[in-house]
Structure formats: structure tokens, C-alpha cells
Structure 1
């Protein structure tokens, strides 16, 4: 039986995927699993925007508009947005709360994105979380239909993988270097 720790150790970002993507039903099942992330007051301060087919071109066009790209630049950025058959925009959608500050809600949205990438990876899909300076640009906000107060955290590019490509084991960190105890007086 595979454990969550096994899945986490195996997970890797996959910049190259094929043209097969999870169905809508498979995606919704994965999102349901990812939504179990710790969420103070169960605010659910996040949402995803699903891009498939030609809708993915909106991402490239909006980034090109934000960067003031010329015609060649627009084409190049449109092509980049087609690198995976499914692109999920991860949106922080904060909720008014006296108890839960926005930074904590952003952590929840990031946690959902990461857990979703882990779930999809464990189900055999390739996932790459991409970000960039243009995530906060007005043209990009409009193309994603962001509402007042919402912020784009990036995109999960999702597609099929060739298991032969990732035959070498993932390099793990030396955990001892990242865990400490509090200072003693």
C-alpha cells in the first residue's frame, strides 16, 4: 500500500506532458480530495479556473498584453499556454474574517494548489505549478475573471506523463538541515 509520504517523495514537477488530461469528473474528484487541506474556520478562500482547448490561449494573450508584447511575443506566449491540455488557475478568494487574516487564507489557497498537484501526480498525471510577475497584472486579472480582492497565485499545468521519462529517483533534501529546536535561554 502506498502512503501519503511515499506519494510526496515521488512527486515531481513535470514541465513536459502529453495531450491527455484528466476528465472533468477526475478533476472534481481530485479537487475534492485537495480541499481537505487545513482551513481555519473552513472559509474556503480559494477557487480554480479551468482552461481547456482554445481557452488556454487567453492566458498567453493576457500575459502578452500585460508585458506589452509585439505580435511575435503574443504568439510565443500563446504557445506557452498550450504546453498542457489542462491549465488550472489558482485564485486566492479571501473571505472577510475577524479571526483569519488574509495571509493565512493565502496559505490555505496555496495548500490546496500543492495538495491538488500531489493528488494529481499520485493519480499518474504530470503537473507543473507556474507563476510569474504577470499574475498580478490587470490584463491577466480580467482574462481570468477575478473579482475585487482576489489574486492569482499561478497556474497548474496538467497532462499525461510517460513513466519512462521519470525513471531516475527524485533527489530528497537532508531534513536535518531544515528542522531545529527553539533557542534555549
Structure 2
């Protein structure tokens, strides 16, 4: 399958089964995903692998962040969660937003690689990604932010992923305006 075919076929899988890639498989995918464009090669990201009881600890942290007494069951929806962390580096050349873009690029590329290898993946976020209890559970440093989690598991037999609307590229790619031209109003 070509990269174009893999990207066109990618879908988010909100429901997965209890199988997951091994750590060795995951390491291979992460090494490849880490090849995204990265100004000054800062590698301003890291990933945290959550399996088994790690997911229960995350459920407790989410509950604490939301003021709930019962641990959240959300982290139990997949056998493997991969926390995506923007790990900002000091740089005169590379601003913070660009470093976050690199971390996001790694996460998206990793999700593509996992999907192409046959795994079901969905990138989940939420307001609690910025909660202190959740940051503490992940061991984040002051220079780090949680961007969400890739939920990974087997694609259930007979199930279909969520539907995605086609992208109308003609509406999303434009040309530079000519000098002195007024910006067109959106309808």
C-alpha cells in the first residue's frame, strides 16, 4: 500500500478489541514516526505507553480532575493508550507553537502507521489533558503538556470505523492574493 493509499484509508476506530501491538512493534512505529519534520532536530516530544493498571491510574486521575468519586472508565476502552506529550525545548530559532506542531505530527504519523499495520486507533483529547492531577499521573515536567492519547487496539471483526466526510481540496487550498486585491468574503 502506498503512503497515499494509507492516508486515504485511515479512519478513527472508537471501538477496538483487547489485542494490541507489542512493545517491540510499537518501538518500530515510534522510530519511524519520529522522522517528521523537526526544525533544529529538537525532538520536542515524548510518548508514554499505558497498558494494564496504568489505564486504571489514569482513570483515577481523570476522576480527580473532574471532582468525581468513581474512576473514569474511559481509559479502559482500549488495551493500549499512548500519551502524546509536547516536551518543549529552549530554542531561539524554534518557537513553542512549532514544537507543539512537531509533537502533533509525530502523533498523527504514528496513528497512520498503526492504522496501516491493521490496528484500530483514535486520538482522544479532553479538557482534563491540562488538569494538574492528570499531568501528575503522567509525570509531566513543567516544560511539558499532554496533547491527548492514542487509543490503540485490534479492529473488531465485522465492525466498521466511524464515517468521515470527503475533503473538498478545492475549497481548502488557495493562492496568494494579488497585491492590492481585497480579501474575498466567505459565504
- TM-score scaled to structure 1, two decimals? 0.93
The answer for the alignment partner of 2:50 in structure 1 is 51
Residue 112, structure 1, aligned to residue 106, structure 2: yes
| SS of the residue 1:92 aligns to | strand
The Cα RMSD (Å) is 1.5
- TM-score scaled to structure 2, two decimals? 0.92
Runs of 4 or more, structure 1, over 6 Å off, are none
* Higher mean C-alpha displacement, 117-126 vs 154-163: 154-163
Change (3 A) 1:114 1:181: same
The answer for the alignment partner of 2:83 in structure 1 is 89
Residue 32, structure 1, aligned to residue 31, structure 2: yes
Distance 1:167 1:84 in 2: 15
Post-superposition Cα deviations, 1:89-139, rounded to whole Å, max 9, x if no partner, equal 000001111100111000000000000000000000000100011111110
Structure 2 unaligned residues grouped into runs of 5+: 180-187
Q: Considering only CA atoms, is the larger Rg found in Structure 1 or Structure 2?
A: 2
The answer for the alignment partner of 2:184 in structure 1 is none
The answer for the alignment partner of 2:115 in structure 1 is 121
Provide the aligned length of Structure 1 versus Structure 2.
Answer: 179
Cα deviation, residue 59, structure 1: 1.3
Query: Does the 8 A contact of 2:14 with 2:161 survive in 1?
Result: no
Distance 1:63 1:136 in 2: 11
Cα deviation, residue 166, structure 1: 2.5
Cα deviation, residue 164, structure 1: 3.2
The answer for the alignment partner of 2:59 in structure 1 is 60
Change (3 A) 1:5 1:67: same
Post-superposition Cα deviations, 1:7-27, rounded to whole Å, max 9, x if no partner, equal 001001100000000000000
